[in-house]
Amino acid sequence: MPAANSGSAASQTVHVPLGDRSYDISIGTGNLVDVGRWVTSLRSVTHAVVISDANVAKHYQQRVEEAIAAEGVRVTSLVVPAGEPSKSVSTAQSLWEAALADRVDRKSVVVALGGGVVGDLAGFIAATMTRGLDFFQIPTSLLAQVDSSVGGKVGINLPSAKNIVGAFWQPKGVLIDTAVLETLPRREYLSGLAEVVKYGVTLDAEFFSYLEANVQPMLDRDPAVLQKIVARSCELKAQVVAEDETETTGLRAILNYGHTYCHALETVAGYGEYLHGEAVSVGMLCASRLGEKLGVFDAESTQRQFKLLSALELPVATPKLDERAILSVMQRDKKVEHGKLRFIVPHRIGKVVLTPDVPSDLAMDAWREGCEA
């Protein structure tokens, strides 16, 4: 029984089955205090490079580093500015050099303490430093807990493309303490809920119903409900990733439900205008209306998503933006093959289908009908 579980009576473990790259996600409330014993229970460690960002470091860096150091581990502490610009080549270079200056070697480990940006960046450092270091993740945003901490995608951005440089580098373990979500700004927290809803629509109708029945506890960040939704989201993503680890069969693409519209919205509205989950919320509703137009999805199911996302205070209307620009982004999205539009289209709640060859006029109709008055 891993020591990680001792901090919380109700903690639970999600196994991510990937052959010799398998790992466990330990999910609890207040289990962050056990991070030192958790890391050292997974392998012997003498040196850990803890990478965080300024926002997260303020709350948790000292606690995490003391807990790791208490196990006799030398800790190198590296803090980057919060926000997407830190996923850059120059930040990566300064982290490589700082780790080297503090005597990193092939037996060192990397611990990512933060949200998606920190996880992606620290994971890329782990994947490349001395040709690969063991990597431990402590996701501190809801989005990172339910999405980017499962699946091993790590990377950085170039000025003209996000996540274009990176690797598939699975962690040795993920520790999720849902209590850290208490310090998450409300808007960011709500944004993470959009990805939780996505798992219901794409993979699990029963889970979707559970979410409908628990709107208020979710808004209140109720610990028991948080643990349930995080654990179930991780389980569902783990099942998909286990069958398509490096995104080669197309299965993993279903996790991109809502994301073609989302990406167009983020790009045309300007990065930063929408949080990622907010754009996902709008995008899922577009994809649902597209499903109706294709005759494979019913209006009532679109309406259920609309009600749930609205109740979770997420945006549900498409803004008035240049439609040609929206279409243009969707056409050069990486999910487009051979110039045809390709969408993840829902067939019913709990079931989505990768659909190539979607006519662009239908796709734009589905966008336009969601427009705010």
In the complex with a copy of itself, the residue whose CB is nearer, 66 or 105, is: 105
Q: Look at phi and psi of residue 103 and say left if phi exceeds 0, alpha if psi is from -120 to 50, else beta.
A: left
Q: Collect all residues with Cβ–Cβ distance below 8 Å to 94 and sequence separation of at least 6.
A: none
Look up 252 and say whether it is catalytic.
yes
Q: Is 116 annotated as a binding residue?
A: yes
CB of 169 to a copy of itself, least distance (A): 9
Residue from 152, 146, 177 nearest 56 by CA: 177
172, 198, 237, 289: the catalytic one is 237
Q: Is 228 annotated as a binding residue?
A: no
CB of 104 to a copy of itself, least distance (A): 8
Q: Look at phi and psi of residue 85 and say left if phi exceeds 0, alpha if psi is from -120 to 50, else beta.
A: alpha
CB of 134 to a copy of itself, least distance (A): 12
In the complex with a copy of itself, the residue whose CB is nearer, 252 or 293, is: 252
Structure tokens at 187: 């808007």
Look up 278 and say whether it is catalytic.
no
Look up 59 and say whether it is catalytic.
no
Look up 263 and say whether it is catalytic.
yes
Look up 55 and say whether it is catalytic.
no
In whole angstroms, give the CA distance from residue 39 to residue 174. 9
Look up 47 and say whether it is catalytic.
no
Which residues sit opposite 14 in a β-bridge? 25
C-alpha dihedral sign at 234, 236, 239, 243: negative
In whole angstroms, give the CA distance from residue 150 to residue 242. 10
Q: At what angle do helices 116-128 and 89-101 cross, to 10 degrees?
A: 60
248-253: long-range pairs with CB below 8 Å, 24+? 250/354, 252/151, 253/335, 253/344, 253/354
Look up 348 and say whether it is catalytic.
no
71, 84, 212, 247: the catalytic one is 247
In the complex with a copy of itself, the residue whose CB is nearer, 96 or 210, is: 96
End-to-end CA distance of the chain: 55
Binding stretches for a copy of itself (CB under 8 A): 89, 92-93, 96-97, 100-101, 105-106, 127-132, 153, 155, 158-161, 163-168, 246, 334
Look up 347 and say whether it is catalytic.
no
CB of 223 to a copy of itself, least distance (A): 35
Look up 259 and say whether it is catalytic.
yes
In the complex with a copy of itself, the residue whose CB is nearer, 213 or 248, is: 248
198, 276, 289, 342: the catalytic one is 276
198, 252, 304, 342: the catalytic one is 252
In the complex with a copy of itself, the residue whose CB is nearer, 168 or 210, is: 168
5, 31, 65, 153: the catalytic one is 153
In whole angstroms, give the CA distance from residue 35 to residue 70. 10
Q: What residues are designated binding site for Zn(2+)?
A: 195, 259, 276
Q: What residues are designated binding site?
A: 116-120, 140-141, 153, 162, 195, 259, 276
So which residues are the catalytic ones? 131, 153, 195, 237, 247, 252, 256, 259, 263, 276
